[in-house]
Amino acid sequence: MQTALGLSVPPPRVRALEDGTESARVGESYQTPPCRKKRYTRFRIVNARITPALRLMSKSEQLPVDAATFEEWNRAPYPLRVRGGVQHYAWGNTDVIPELLGQANPKHEPFAELWLGAHPDLPAHATIGSGEIALNRLMGAAGPVLLGERAFERFDGAFPFLMKILSATKPLSIQAHPNTEQAESGFARDNHSGLDLDDPKRSYKDDKHKPELISALEDFYALRGFRPLDEVDRTVHDIPELSDLVADRTLTHDGMVKLYVKLMQLPQLEVNRRLIPLMQRLRTANENRKFGKADPEYWAIRADDEFSRDDVKDRGLFSVFLLNLVRLRPGQAMYLPAGEPHSYLEGTGVEIMANSNNVLRGGLTPKRVDVEELLSVLTFKCGKPTVLELESDRGSDTRTRYLTPALEFELSRVQLNSGESDAAGGTRGVQLGIVLDGKLTLNSRGGSNLDLERGQSFLIPYGIPYLMSARETATIFVGSGPG
């Protein structure tokens, strides 16, 4: 039997993998697909029949979605309230995201990222009626409704983007992301090696590229891309611990590439031999004249404090001197294409990216470091980074956006004074939004409305017109997929 969405309806006694694929009937053998976690969830029967919503329930939902309510939404979709998930990485700020969500944090646990999306590592949950469903499971049940038929086909049935609130008090890893071809090849290679998706020896978590955009909500510091060649030349010649590695009097681009590759591939004893005296010299200089956040030396000392252990220096420190140091003011952003080395150093921002978790790291992290794979994806472009400013969104007085070459996403900011409204939707693709300040009411067709306030999130299916009306001054960030 087929549902209206083309999904097979199994008999009541089935069990399911977490990604929604069904096993054989209970009592029959089932071979777990490669790289799938062997965890099962029994269906909870509501209204006596199996529906797409029921097949796609997970244990993390608070209540199952009622079948009749889901079918009604599926016939005439409307905006949904969404609850994101939090990643507690060690570099995270302990205050910003808890305050945004109105949560206590008595143990001062790091709240590094709030995820809003359908990525299986940490999907958001959408409320339909009185129940919840994980967004990746809702995609499996009603993907064409959420994305629109064209986008659903274009992205092979996957949600196109992942949106985050990121808040860092410590430097993140020196990292880059692969392009699509590299991701597909690397993912297949890791699969062929028999590595589970959560195996720490894996370099590729999926087969997708990961272009991304970060928009600063406060002063935001980062390393991004190789500095202009003349700056790299001066820097290397001015650092005695590095200058002997440069054969030419004037550094060429090929020479810069060879230098970086050599630094990243040095044996650990040689890394220590160069970085121990360099960092000792910087610490002495810092005692006489305090370095500030505009100085690479400041971040080198902070990263050394955080990641070097027992006289084992972290090779990621080399990158601090060779990459551009960027300061984003609130409202400014930067776009990171494939192959661009970077590290977020400190600050809070709204991040949006293609729906991937592929990160290749070269240092400044306790996580897996894969220098060879990182070097294989770098583009080694030199120059000053481009800082993006918000631009008017299709002539709107209340909505601005960042223009990037990304096909999967667009990020907009809506600012409303009390009593003002912003109308959108219609021809736009699927949208995820979060209220960063204020209170508003979101109205859509059929009289559906959501009352939203600071820290709350929402989802707008493809093609649904909606109106946001501020009950007090409000700021909203909205991520959109293509229509």
Residues 438 and 320 in one domain: no
The enclosing domain of 405 has a CATH number of 2.60.120.10
Residues 371 and 465 in one domain: no
The enclosing domain of 311 has a CATH number of 2.60.120
Q: Domain containing 455: what range?
A: 391-480
End-of-domain residue from the set 347, 377, 407: 377
Question: Can you give the pLDDT at residue 36?
Answer: 35
Q: Which is the catalytic residue, given 361, 399, 413, 428?
A: 361
Question: Can you give the pLDDT at residue 50?
Answer: 36
Question: Can you give the pLDDT at residue 183?
Answer: 97
Please report, in tens digits, the pLDDT of each residue of the chain (483 residues total).
333 333 333 333 222 333 333 322 222 222 333 343 333 222 232 333 333 333 333 334 457 898 999 999 999 999 999 999 999 999 999 999 999 999 999 999 999 999 999 999 999 999 999 999 999 999 999 999 999 999 999 999 999 999 999 999 999 999 999 999 999 999 999 999 999 998 989 999 999 999 999 999 999 999 999 999 999 999 999 999 999 998 777 899 999 999 999 999 999 999 999 999 999 999 999 998 899 999 999 999 999 999 998 789 999 999 999 999 999 999 999 999 999 999 999 999 999 999 999 999 999 999 999 999 999 999 999 999 999 999 998 888 999 999 999 999 999 999 999 999 999 977 789 999 999 999 999 999 767 899 999 999 999 999 999 999 999 999 999 999 998
Question: Can you give the pLDDT at residue 63?
Answer: 75
Residues 253 and 344 in one domain: yes
How many CB atoms within 10 Å of residue 84?
24
Question: Can you give the pLDDT at residue 394?
Answer: 81
Question: Can you give the pLDDT at residue 10?
Answer: 34
Judge whether 264 lies within some domain.
Answer: yes
Question: Can you give the pLDDT at residue 62?
Answer: 59
Residues 346 and 438 in one domain: no
Residues 320 and 425 in one domain: no
Residues 364 and 422 in one domain: no
Judge whether 59 lies within some domain.
Answer: no
End-of-domain residue from the set 352, 377, 402: 377
Residues 367 and 226 in one domain: yes
Query: Which residue is associated with the tokens 């090849």?
Result: 185
Residues 228 and 358 in one domain: yes
Judge whether 166 lies within some domain.
Answer: no
Question: Can you give the pLDDT at residue 20?
Answer: 37
Judge whether 317 lies within some domain.
Answer: yes
Q: Is 361 a catalytic residue?
A: yes
Number of domains in the chain: 2
